[in-house]
Amino acid sequence: MKSYLTCILAICALLAGNLGSANGRRLHLGSCALTVHTHELRHHFQQIRHNLVTQDNHKGVRLLKADVMKSLQATESCCFLRQLLRFYIEKVFSGYTSSHSLHQRTTSVLANSFLSINKDLRACHSQMLCQCSQEANLKFDVIQETYDKLEVGAASVKAIGELDSVLEWLESFHSKDHMFHLHDDESK
C-alpha cells in the first residue's frame, strides 16, 4: 500500500510539473510582459541542432554574442527581441533549405512560434511599452551585417544553429522575474 501511494504521488508530481510547463513562462522584457513556451522552442531546436552544427562551415563567425544580449538594458530587451524575431522570420527561416522533411517541419514550427511571440511584442509596441534605443538598434545592426556577409544558405544555418543563445537569453528573463518575486515574498 505504501509503495502504491508513493507511486501515485510521484505521478501527480510529474503531471503537475508538466501542466506548469504547458502554460509557458511569463517573461518581463522591460515594461512588456509576455508568455513564451521556451521549453517547446528548446525541444524543437534540439531536434535539428546537431545537423546544423555539422553543416556550419563558418565556425569562427558568431552572430549572436551572449555578452551583447546580456548587456542590453531591460527597457531595450523588448525592442531588441522584436527586431531579432522579425529578422529570423523574414530572413533566416526563409533562407533555410533542407532535404530532410523533419528539419523543414521543425523550422516551420519555430518560425510559427516566433510569429506568435512577435504578435505579442507588436501589442507591447503599440502601447509604447517597447521602446527602441539607438544602442539597441546598433547592436542589432551588427548581427544583420555579419549575417549579410555570408551566403544566404550558410548564414541561415549559422543563425538557426545559434538559437540556443536566444533561448538562454529569453530564459534569463524568467529567472530574473522569478528571483524578483522570491525577493518580494521574502520581504513580506
Say which CATH number the domain at 179 has.
Answer: 1.20.1250.10
Residue 139 is assigned to a structural domain of this protein? yes
What pLDDT sits at residue 84? 95
30-42 burial by CB neighbour count: b if 16+ within 10 A, else e? Answer: bebebebbbeebb
Under 8 Å between Cβ of 130 and 28: no
Residue-wise pLDDT for 76-99, tens only, equals 899 999 999 999 999 999 999 988
Under 8 Å between Cβ of 150 and 158: yes
Q: Could you tell me the three cell numbers for 184?
A: 518580494
Residue 25 is assigned to a structural domain of this protein? no
d(CA 24, CA 39): 8
Under 8 Å between Cβ of 85 and 119: no
Residue 11 is assigned to a structural domain of this protein? no
d(CA 157, CA 107): 11
Residue 14 is assigned to a structural domain of this protein? no
Residue 9 is assigned to a structural domain of this protein? no
What pLDDT sits at residue 156? 95
d(CA 131, CA 133): 7
Residues of the chain with pLDDT under 50: 2-21, 176-188
**pTM beyond 0.85, yes or no:** no
What pLDDT sits at residue 3? 45
Q: Could you tell me the three cell numbers for 64?
A: 549572436
Total tally of structural domains belonging to the chain: 1
Residue 5 is assigned to a structural domain of this protein? no
Q: Which of 145, 43, 159 is nearest to 96 (CA)?
A: 159
Q: Which residues are within 8 A (CB) of 64 and not within 5 positions of it... i.e. 6 or more apart?
A: 143, 159, 162, 165, 166
The one-letter code for the residue type at 129 is: L
Identify the domain containing residue 150 by its residue range.
30-55+64-187
The one-letter code for the residue type at 68 is: V
What pLDDT sits at residue 18? 39
The CA-based angle 18-181-135, given to 5 degrees, is 100
Residue 15 is assigned to a structural domain of this protein? no
Residue 175 is assigned to a structural domain of this protein? yes
Residue-wise pLDDT for 51-79, tens only, equals 998 999 999 999 998 888 888 888 889 99
